[in-house]
Amino acid sequence: MYVVTAASAAGRAGCLVGFASQCSIDPPRFTVWLSTANHTYRVAREAEYLTVHLLRQEDRALAELFGEETGDRVDKFSAVGWRPGEAGSPVLEQVCSWFTGRIEGRIEGGDHVGFLLAPVAVCPPIEGPPPPLLRYRALRDLDPGHPA
């Protein structure tokens, strides 16, 4: 699971994302899929960059905040530490694995739109074995801020 953040003239936003994947090795590319019902999608449409944060099992509270609340009603960033990244795209301080990608294209996919990203900034590598990741099955009980 990921938290994807964006900033544009429409403000800043972030949401929990389950549909995402590397899609090219050379050049490196990654695609994240955002629900068109989502506040983050509306901000991302106008953004140049998105930041993709890979969640660990210990990040459940962050997943709850970005998955159950909607930016239509709540400033999620007032509850977490963050800093502006490329073009203001928020980088969450609590998450140790993230990258920021320049939006290279968009792919219509029904009720979700894929944002094709070219990485431009990557978090420093972490030492030791990778931490256990937060998976969808651990979050099935969340009440989404918007219907999918």
Tokens of 115: 């944002």
pLDDT of residue 129: 73
In tens, the pLDDT along 66-76 reads 998 887 788 99
* Mean pLDDT, residues 39-45 taken together: 96
Please state, in angstroms and as integers, the Cα–Cα distance from residue 6 to each residue in 27, 51, 103, 137, 148, following that order. 23, 7, 11, 26, 19
116 touches 23 (CB < 8 A)? yes
User: pLDDT tens, 80-96?
Assistant: 999 999 999 999 999 98
